[in-house]
Amino acid sequence: MIQLDEVSKSFAVGSPKVVDRVSLTVEEGELLVLLGSSGSGKTTLLRLINHLLEPDSGRVLVDGKEVRCQDPVLLRRRIGYVFQGIGLFSHLSVEDNVAMVPQLLGWPRARRRERARELLELVGLPPDDYACRLPMQLSGGQQQRVGVARALAADPKYLLMDEPFGALDAVTRDALQRELLDIKEKLSKTVVFVTHDIFEALTLADRIAVVHQGRLQQIGTRHEIVGMPKTDFVRELFARPAEQIDSYRSLQ
């Protein structure tokens, strides 16, 4: 379980808070989407969870223990991180990219190779075809699949995903969203997923946490968020998408 308790963060004395007294809980096995526009504090929340940033006030807990009291290396072994920019090592093969974290953890080469090939199969990249390729030989969607496989390589309990599909075309994004849901179901992972895309949030989320100007506006299931908005911001944010969904249904 991941818990944030009245967490605030700013980056300069006297500057506005990037995260302002946010409290939320990510339940075991759920996919929680952090939804908000650029600058709303979504990515900062991920970095606070992973202890890449220190909160100014409040507490961040993973498995019931404050992250500031945990060894950051041991903490991050339990937390996979998928970046928007993917960040693959261009000089390494796909297999070696996926096996990077197990290598840092001292896994034997045979075990690293077996794990990498297992995960490439899981994300839809047959290892006999893709393991020896370089990242530049892959499409954007294929590179993103490698990024997901790499984040899963050490079998982390938690997976943080920072707008991982934002730069992809709609068809590829839809396919990867479906694969993510399949992976979550197969591996029973707890996922925190950042996006600014409302339809992506509605597609993926067990629950959605709407963030605006550093503050948590509402957290709930898609039905609660759309049907029972608690703030004017949430109501206005989902009004147009709700109309589009109704229009689409009327055409079926």
Reported as a single tens digit per residue, the pLDDT across 131-155 is 999 999 999 889 988 999 999 998 8
The pLDDT value given to residue 99: 93
The pLDDT value given to residue 87: 79
Helix (H) or strand (E) holding 241: helix 232-251
- pLDDT, tens digit (0-9, with 9 covering 90-100), for 19-34: 999 999 999 999 999 9
Question: Residue 86: which residues within 8 A CB-CB, separation 6 or more?
Answer: 143, 144, 146, 147, 164
Pick from 60-74, 113-127, 164-178, 203-217: least confident: 164-178
Residues in the chain: 252
Percent of the chain exceeding pLDDT 90 equals 56
Residue 85 in this model has a pLDDT that exceeds 80: no
3-state DSSP assignment of residue 4: strand
- pLDDT, tens digit (0-9, with 9 covering 90-100), for 210-251: 999 999 999 999 899 988 999 999 998 888 776 666 555 554
The pLDDT value given to residue 77: 80
The fold adopted by the segment(s) 2-78+158-251 is: Rossmann fold (3.40.50)
Percent of the chain exceeding pLDDT 70 equals 94
The pLDDT value given to residue 244: 63
Q: What is the mean pLDDT of residues 75-104?
A: 87
What is the Rg, in whole angstroms, of the alpha carbon atoms belonging to the chain?
Answer: 19
The pLDDT value given to residue 45: 95
The pLDDT value given to residue 245: 60
The pLDDT value given to residue 39: 85
Domain ranges across the chain: 2-78+158-251, 87-155
Q: How confident is the model at residue 195 (pLDDT cuts 50, 70, 90)?
A: very high
In the chain, which ranges are E strands? Answer: 2-9, 19-26, 31-35, 57-62, 65-66, 79-82, 158-162, 190-195, 207-212, 215-220
CA distances from 182 to 28, 172, 185, 189 (A): 17, 15, 5, 11
Cα distance between residue 12 and residue 14, in whole Å: 6
The pLDDT value given to residue 141: 87
pTM above 0.85, yes or no: yes
- pLDDT, tens digit (0-9, with 9 covering 90-100), for 165-194: 877 788 888 888 888 888 888 888 899 999
Residue 161 in this model has a pLDDT that exceeds 80: yes
Q: What is the DSSP letter of 189?
A: -
Average pLDDT, the chain: 89
